[in-house]
Chains A and B, each alone.
Chain A
Amino acid sequence: MSDTPILELVGVTRRVQGRDLVSDVSLHLRAGEMLGVIGPNGSGKSTLLNMMAGLLPPTRGQVRLAGQPMVRLRRQQIAQQLAMVSQAAETGERISVRDAVELGRTPWLGPLWPWSARDDEAVQAALQAVGMEQMAARDWSTLSGGERQRVHIARAHAQAPRILLLDEPTNHLDIHHQIGILDLVSQLSVTTVIALHDMHHALRCDRVMVMQSGRCVALGAPLDVLTPALIREIFAVDAQLIAHPAGRLPLFAFQRLA
């Protein structure tokens, strides 16, 4: 295995109308890890993910995908290696679940590379992975929010990427679906970057990056990074870490600062 990181950010900055949305962020993504990006609203999580996905060009710095500068790659080459699940991507079309998942094969197809049995397998595997194979014929408009998010993840899965980027995939979901989505993501054997704002969810990641005002203020193992002092500074709440009674991941107890 070579030393080339699967995805690398070097001093990446995104400046819009004189304001830095993301400022000087560097990162080596490790193959197979699950990286959580956490921070308050407006801290630059979405912008950072969009730059990782090559959807936004950095104003300064560079994003490299498997050693290649992202700006020199064609969109199709990027999409073959990297899939992105954005926040609340919606449609008014009368599209079926299978149709939506089949879209994931787009980077592998072209006018001269038609649909093949391999694509059918990828779609079937993706539907299975999210447990929706029974709902493949369902109309998009009849799905609940959690089901839609699962279909989006299945679409990204069908894309067969090496890296999966998820932008707050548990937003607007009830707790049952939140945990379901996170379980699903952690089962996918793929390098994952996931933007979150729930610190309990962050504890499940291999590493956590904490963002504040566009800057990376901490990066490391969840329990090393998410200290009461840092949480107090970033989120302006008093936090205490409490051991789980059954020995699972510890819990946070939050209190507003006096």
Chain B
Amino acid sequence: MRRGAAVRGTGWLWLAPVVLAAALLFGSAVGETPIPLSTVVAVLASKAGLPAGVLDPVDASVIWHYRLSRAVVAACVGASLALSGLILQALLRNALAEPYLLGISAGASTGAVAVAVAGFGAGMVSMSAGAFAGALVAFGLVTILARAAQGTGVQTTGIIILAGIAGSQMFNAMTALIIAQSASAEQARGIMFWLLGNLSGVRWPDIRMALPMTLLGLGVALWHVRTLDAFTFGADSAAALGIDVRRAQAMLIGTTALVTAVMVSIAGAIGFVGLVVPHAMRFLVGVRHARLVPATALAGAVFLVLSDVVSRIVIPGQVLPIGVITALVGAPAFAVVMIRGRQR
């Protein structure tokens, strides 16, 4: 009997594509307006090159161009944010670490507000581009701050967290300043709505960014599963186990920052996924990253696709910010997982 960590407990992995496909189909089938499942299947079949009869062009476009692209991007964003949270929690040995810890969400807000309120770019630059730029600038500053503070006696992980908090506070203050100076109610509302997470503007071209970034994040995480395990007893212990801690931190945190910045620029700062999905998965599949990485990616993807569906149907005729749903649905779901995990 082989009992190695790499193979043990990963037999369920073949189910992952099935679960993901089911979630994507569900995301395509349920939306703001009711479309019969038969129509949905017919549209998807016709796109796959199968004969499907005559289809209503609006229905077909809605299913293919709005719903399916949106579901795929939701899956990418969910998987990426959950993985980013997992990586940071493992590296920083902090249960509360999440992708926005590095100042990325605060920087994205500032970037978006600078475009939408202060008129940066004079209507030619989209809020997404502003958010992406802001996220990278914020992460850059947090990194510089963390580097400058190295050797002051505080542990490296502590420095990163402190620098992230300082950077986030600074960028949040800048956002507040810009809004106080010039925002009208309608703009402020638009930005808040966008920042709470919004997938309504997602189309197929977004997938050209979202999918490769998700695969990059997943690939880097899978490549480093043993590195992540080695951090179980802290960074010094990881170093003693043969991990080049600095290189691993730079590689993993850098990838996390880049992937998160791209996701925030596509979908806004959707909270909760990166924090809670990894913890829920630890309860379900254990703490070894060979299992945890694929499980977290899958759960994040499915969770966000489902949350997006809920955000579209919970109030008829109106779409809620997905960040509201992830928190409303995620918190009780997490409580159930936690309680069940304790009884295990």
**Would you call A182 an interface residue if the criterion is a C-beta within 8 Å of the partner chain's C-beta atoms?**
no
Q: Quick check: B232 and A95 within 8 Å, CB to CB?
A: yes
**Would you call A53 an interface residue if the criterion is a C-beta within 8 Å of the partner chain's C-beta atoms?**
yes
Q: Quick check: A99 and B5 within 8 Å, CB to CB?
A: yes
The stretch of B18-26, B208-216, B236-244, B313-321 that contacts the partner chain:
B236-244
Tell which of B4, B223, B230, B239 touches A119, judged by Cβ atoms closer than 8 Å: B4
A86 to B236, CA, bound (A): 8
Q: Quick check: B234 and A89 within 8 Å, CB to CB?
A: yes
Give how many B residues have a beta carbon under 8 Å from the other chain's beta carbons. Answer: 30
Which 10 residue pairs of A and B lie closest in terms of their CB atoms, listed nearest first? A79-B242, A115-B4, A107-B242, A76-B242, A89-B233, A84-B240, A106-B241, A115-B6, A93-B287, A75-B244
Given the interface pairs A115-B4, A116-B4, A117-B2, the reply to whether A93 lies near B242 with Cβ below 8 Å is no
Q: Quick check: A83 and B2 within 8 Å, CB to CB?
A: no
Q: Quick check: A106 and B232 within 8 Å, CB to CB?
A: no
A83 to B240, CA, bound (A): 6
A95 to B287, CA, bound (A): 6
What residues of B have a CB within 8 angstroms of the CB of A102 in the complex?
Answer: 5
Tell which of A50, A86, A106 touches B243, judged by Cβ atoms closer than 8 Å: A106
Q: Which residue of A lies closest to B290 (CB)?
A: A115
Given the interface pairs A90-B233, A109-B226, A120-B2, the reply to whether A80 lies near B7 with Cβ below 8 Å is no
Q: Which residue of B lies closest to A136 (CB)?
A: B3
Interface residues of chain A: helix, strand, loop or mixed (majority)? mixed
What residues of A have a CB within 8 angstroms of the CB of B206 in the complex?
Answer: none
What residues of A have a CB within 8 angstroms of the CB of B236 in the complex?
Answer: 50, 55, 86, 89
**Would you call A111 an interface residue if the criterion is a C-beta within 8 Å of the partner chain's C-beta atoms?**
yes
Tell which of B224, B230, B242, B287 touches A94, judged by Cβ atoms closer than 8 Å: B287
Q: Quick check: A120 and B4 within 8 Å, CB to CB?
A: yes
- Please indicate which of the listed interface residues B236, B242, B288 has the most CB atoms of chain A within 10 Å of its own CB: B242
Interface residues of chain B: helix, strand, loop or mixed (majority)? loop
What residues of A have a CB within 8 angstroms of the CB of B229 in the complex?
Answer: 103, 106
Q: Which residue of B lies closest to A95 (CB)?
A: B287
What residues of B have a CB within 8 angstroms of the CB of A80 in the complex?
Answer: 242
What residues of B have a CB within 8 angstroms of the CB of A89 in the complex?
Answer: 233-234, 236-237
What residues of A have a CB within 8 angstroms of the CB of B282 in the complex?
Answer: 93-94
Jot down 25 A-B pairs with beta carbons below 8 A, ordered by A: A53-B240, A74-B244, A75-B242, A75-B243, A75-B245, A79-B241, A79-B242, A89-B234, A91-B233, A91-B234, A92-B95, A95-B287, A99-B286, A100-B233, A102-B5, A103-B229, A103-B230, A106-B230, A106-B242, A106-B243, A109-B226, A114-B4, A114-B7, A115-B4, A120-B2
**Would you call A78 an interface residue if the criterion is a C-beta within 8 Å of the partner chain's C-beta atoms?**
yes
Name the distance in Å between B220's Cβ and chain A's nearest Cβ: 11
- Please indicate which of the listed interface residues B4, B232, B240, B286 has the most CB atoms of chain A within 10 Å of its own CB: B240
A37 to B132, CA, bound (A): 54
Would you list which residues of chain A between 64 and 92 have a CB under 8 Å from chain B?
A: 74-80, 83-84, 86, 89-92
What residues of A have a CB within 8 angstroms of the CB of B230 in the complex?
Answer: 103, 106
Q: A75-B245, A76-B242 are in contact. List 11 more A-B contacts (CB 8 A).
A: A55-B240, A74-B244, A90-B234, A91-B232, A91-B234, A92-B95, A100-B232, A103-B233, A106-B242, A117-B2, A119-B4
What residues of A have a CB within 8 angstroms of the CB of B241 in the complex?
Answer: 79, 103-104, 106-107, 159
What residues of A have a CB within 8 angstroms of the CB of B240 in the complex?
Answer: 53, 55, 79, 83-84, 86
What residues of A have a CB within 8 angstroms of the CB of B95 in the complex?
Answer: 92
Given the interface pairs A55-B239, A75-B239, A159-B241, the reply to whether A115 lies near B7 with Cβ below 8 Å is yes
Name the distance in Å between A94's Cβ and chain B's nearest Cβ: 6
Would you list which residues of chain B between 240 and 293 have a CB under 8 Å from chain A?
A: 240-245, 282, 286-288
What residues of A have a CB within 8 angstroms of the CB of B6 in the complex?
Answer: 114-115
Name the distance in Å between A108's Cβ and chain B's nearest Cβ: 9
What residues of B have a CB within 8 angstroms of the CB of A119 in the complex?
Answer: 4
What residues of A have a CB within 8 angstroms of the CB of B226 in the complex?
Answer: 106, 109-111
What residues of B have a CB within 8 angstroms of the CB of A53 in the complex?
Answer: 240
Q: Quick check: B286 and A94 within 8 Å, CB to CB?
A: yes
Given the interface pairs A55-B236, A89-B233, the reply to whether A120 lies near B242 with Cβ below 8 Å is no
A44 to B241, CA, bound (A): 23
What residues of A have a CB within 8 angstroms of the CB of B287 in the complex?
Answer: 93-95, 99
What residues of A have a CB within 8 angstroms of the CB of B234 in the complex?
Answer: 89-91
A109 to B229, CA, bound (A): 12
What residues of B have a CB within 8 angstroms of the CB of A74 in the complex?
Answer: 244
**Residue-wise interface mask of B (1-44) relative to A, using a CB-CB cutoff of 8 A (1 in contact, 0 not):** 01111110000000000000000000000000000000000000
What residues of A have a CB within 8 angstroms of the CB of B3 in the complex?
Answer: 120
